[in-house]
């Protein structure tokens, strides 16, 4: 006998703003709290698109932010009413984004729903988000998210098992019967960490890492910024690799991430940087709210740029047992990410793909067996072990490289520059810009793309002269399914290979964010190879601001965040 629940069809009013962005539907939490049926509508729209079959299995979990548990309750009720056969839910609703991807793949699930707004702050006055992932474990491609959006705009009813309440605090199995024909729904509440940990132990050599940390008396510091990675970091670092509890900072997930941005960069993970600057710890890492991003810091606060990190992992892929076993099939980076990876790919004679911003563009190449390692400048690094970027994986990859090279972080990075030269990279974010002003910046740039009037013109700053060789709007044709993504960012490429890129963010919850990316190359024999990146980038930054007229259009003298 199983407990029975009836399905109710509830009338609702559709919303016209449930369009998923770069990474799912992200809105101020107040939108979810105050707009009637906002969550129910969106979950129903997902259900209508995926049309759950009788063997439909969904994985559900999130980063622990405010409203997550409420959203899990809604998902259970709406999914059960719509015919989902089985739900696999992280204990207390907690699952990192990489863990969801891992679990979807491991249990051959139909897909997953991730409750997160990633690195955006959380709480009643911050952001919330819902993201759908498909059966390969990766973010739903545009054709799926577009279909969800179309349904959401016309939705008049949703189905729900109103009284179906489950306990998500205890690991275990529960079964329910739905509707007149007593359709069975199974709900498994699972450990947030166990499956992911098993995968990491397959990929890396944990016993060797443990010995290495012990023998070298390495002191590690992982800062979860109060996001979901806390329990994973504890399990990997303390339980498996034998590090002491003081390796863990901000590792208890909080609904509001302690009131700050759970975004691992030099601005928001300042605490980790300051700790590392003291020179006590050898290797530090910070992660974002849902655990897919990472920032890596060496002793004395030596910062590893995410673009360099990707290139260095590629160049040292043999330090990672997973790649030793499976080979490195190809590498990829998002278009704005620096060209450091390209140089390694050329040396290793591996295929190199340049994709639009957003992890979803890597999925097809990975599924087709053409891509093993990829990353984005936005602190995202990962491999084809799952279909999301993976913060903890990146930290373990680096530990493996340090062990293999028997060197510290700074030595490994500087050695890389000496071999390949150095791509200095920076990103300027202008957040919460007036939408009209942001559009004016972009239309101004697009006019140059149209008329090509700046081609071959010279632009001088601080005695550096840059000649424009390409001025285009990045367009990508997926090599696997031939789908075309247009308008993916305005690109200016100069004669010396330096690049400047402009695009509008697709993850903000309100207003507009302009991102300006600068990638400038210093050759390996240059005197300023190890000098401050900021200095090296100054001339190009000035040219970029002049060409885009960002200060004039937006009234902003300086960006909100520089990474
Ligand atoms: C940002 C990053 C992008 C990343 C995404 C999700 O998107 O730029 O690289 O994939 O967050 O983490 P954006 O806001 O620029 O659209
Ligand atoms: Zn994230």
CA distance 226 to 9: 39
For residue 3, the surrounding DSSP H or E stretch is strand 3-5
Of the residues 376, 381, 431, 515, which should be mutated to test ligand 1's pocket, given the most ligand atoms within 8 Å of the CB? 376
CA distance 36 to 32: 8
Burial of 462 (0-12, 13-18, 19+ CB in 10 A): exposed
Q: Where in the chain is the domain with CATH 3.40.120.10?
A: 3-192, 196-420
SS3 (DSSP) at 214: helix
Q: Where in the chain is the domain with CATH 3.30.310.50?
A: 422-562
Contact 333, 351 (CB under 8 A): no
**Which protein residue's CA is at the shortest distance from atom 11 of ligand 1?**
507
Residue 225, pLDDT score:
98
Strands 86-94 and 57-62 turn out to be parallel
* Protein residues within 5 Å, CB atom, of ion ligand 2: 118, 288, 290, 292-293
Contact 439, 490 (CB under 8 A): no
CATH superfamily of 3-192: Alpha-D-Glucose-1,6-Bisphosphate, subunit A, domain 3 (3.40.120.10)
Q: Of 525, 358, 555, 355, which Cα lies nearest the Cα of 441?
A: 555
Closest ligand by atom to 225 CA: 2
Q: Which segments of 299-351 does DSSP mark as H helices, in order?
A: 306-315, 321-326, 340-348
Of the residues 507, 508, 516, 563, which should be mutated to test ligand 1's pocket, given the most ligand atoms within 8 Å of the CB? 507
Contact 171, 189 (CB under 8 A): yes
Residue 204, pLDDT score:
98
Which residues in the chain land under pLDDT 70? 1, 508-510
Phi and psi, residue 319, nearest 5°: -75, -10
Q: Of 492, 475, 489, which Cα lies nearest the Cα of 544?
A: 492
CA distance 229 to 221: 13
Of the residues 378, 391, 511, 517, which should be mutated to test ligand 1's pocket, given the most ligand atoms within 8 Å of the CB? 378
Q: Which atom of ligand 1 is least distant from the CA of 359?
A: 10
Q: Which residues line ligand 1 (CB under 6 A)?
A: 22-23, 118, 334, 357-359, 376, 378, 380, 505-507, 515
Residue 509, pLDDT score:
63
For residue 97, the surrounding DSSP H or E stretch is helix 97-106
Q: Which residues of 464-491 are buried (b: 16+ CB within 10 A; e: fewer)?
A: bebebeebebbebebeeeeeebeebbbb
DSSP conformation class of 134? -
pTM: 0.92
At the topology level of CATH, where does 196-420 sit? Alpha-D-Glucose-1,6-Bisphosphate; Chain A, domain 3 (3.40.120)
CA distance 358 to 376: 8
- Measure 439 CA to ligand 1 centroid, in angstroms: 18
CA distance 253 to 236: 16
- Measure 284 CA to ligand 2 centroid, in angstroms: 18
Residue 367, pLDDT score:
95
Considering only the top CATH level, what class is 422-562? alpha beta
Q: How confident is the model over 180-195, as pLDDT tens digits?
A: 889 999 999 999 999 9
Ranges of beta strands (E only) in 49-166 are 57-62, 86-94, 111-115, 127-133, 157-160
Closest ligand by atom to 380 CA: 1
């Amino acid at each position: 006998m199983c407990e029975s629940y009836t399905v109710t069809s509830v009338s609702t009013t559709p919303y016209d703003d449930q369009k998923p962005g770069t990474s799912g539907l992200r809105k101020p939490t107040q939108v979810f709290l105050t707009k009637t049926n906002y969550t129910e509508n969106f979950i129903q729209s997902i259900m209508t698109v995926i049309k759950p079959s009788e063997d439909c299995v969904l994985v559900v979990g999130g980063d622990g932010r405010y409203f997550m548990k409420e959203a899990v309750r809604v998902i259970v009720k709406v999914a059960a009413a719509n015919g989902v056969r089985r739900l696999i839910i992280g204990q207390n609703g907690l699952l990192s984004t990489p863990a969801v991807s891992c679990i979807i793949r491991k249990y051959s699930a139909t897909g997953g729903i991730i409750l997160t707004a990633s690195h955006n702050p959380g709480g009643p006055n911050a952001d919330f988000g819902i993201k759908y992932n498909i059966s390969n474990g990766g973010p739903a491609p545009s054709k799926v998210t577009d279909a969800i959006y179309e349904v959401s705009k016309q939705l008049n009813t949703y189905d729900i098992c109103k009284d179906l309440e489950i306990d998500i605090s205890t690991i275990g199995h529960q079964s329910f019967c739905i509707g007149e024909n007593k359709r069975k729904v199974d709900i498994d509440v699972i450990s947030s960490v166990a499956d992911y940990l098993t995968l990491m132990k397959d990929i890396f050599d944990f016993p060797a890492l443990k010995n290495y940390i012990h023998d070298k008396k390495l002191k590690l510091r992982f800062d979860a910024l109060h996001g979901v990675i806390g329990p994973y970091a504890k399990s990997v670092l303390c339980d498996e690799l034998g590090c002491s509890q003081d390796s863990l900072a901000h590792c208890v997930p909080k609904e509001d991430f302690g009131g700050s941005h759970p975004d691992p960069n030099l601005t928001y993970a300042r605490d980790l940087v300051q700790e590392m600057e003291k020179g006590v710890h050898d290797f530090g890492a910070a992660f974002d709210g849902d655990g897919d991003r990472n920032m890596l810091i060496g002793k004395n606060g030596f910062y590893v740029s995410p673009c360099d990190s990707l290139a260095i992992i590629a160049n040292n892929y043999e330090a990672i047992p997973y790649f030793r076993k499976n080979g490195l099939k190809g590498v990829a980076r998002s278009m704005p990410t620096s060209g450091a990876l390209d140089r390694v790919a050329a040396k290793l004679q591996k295929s190199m793909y340049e994709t639009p911003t957003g992890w979803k563009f890597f999925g097809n190449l990975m599924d087709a067996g053409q891509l093993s390692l990829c990353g984005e400048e936005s602190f995202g690094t990962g491999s084809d072990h799952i279909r999301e970027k993976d913060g903890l994986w990146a930290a373990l990859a680096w530990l493996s490289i340090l062990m293999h090279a028997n060197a510290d972080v700074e030595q490994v990075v500087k050695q890389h520059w000496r071999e390949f030269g150095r791509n200095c990279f920076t990103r300027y974010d202008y957040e919460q810009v007036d939408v009209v002003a942001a559009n004016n910046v972009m239309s101004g740039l697009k006019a140059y793309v149209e008329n090509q009037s700046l081609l071959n013109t010279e632009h001088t700053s601080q005695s550096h002269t840059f000649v424009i060789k390409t001025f285009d709007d990045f367009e990508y044709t997926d090599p696997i399914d031939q789908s075309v993504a247009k308008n993916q960012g305005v690109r200016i490429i100069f004669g010396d290979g330096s690049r400047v890129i402009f695009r509008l963010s697709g993850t903000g919850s309100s207003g507009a964010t302009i991102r300006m990316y600068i990638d400038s190359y210093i050759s390996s024999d240059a005197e300023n190879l190890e000098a401050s990146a900021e200095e090296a980038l100054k001339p190009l930054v000035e040219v970029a601001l002049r060409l885009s007229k960002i200060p004039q259009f937006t009234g902003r003298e300086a960006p909100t965040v520089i990474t």
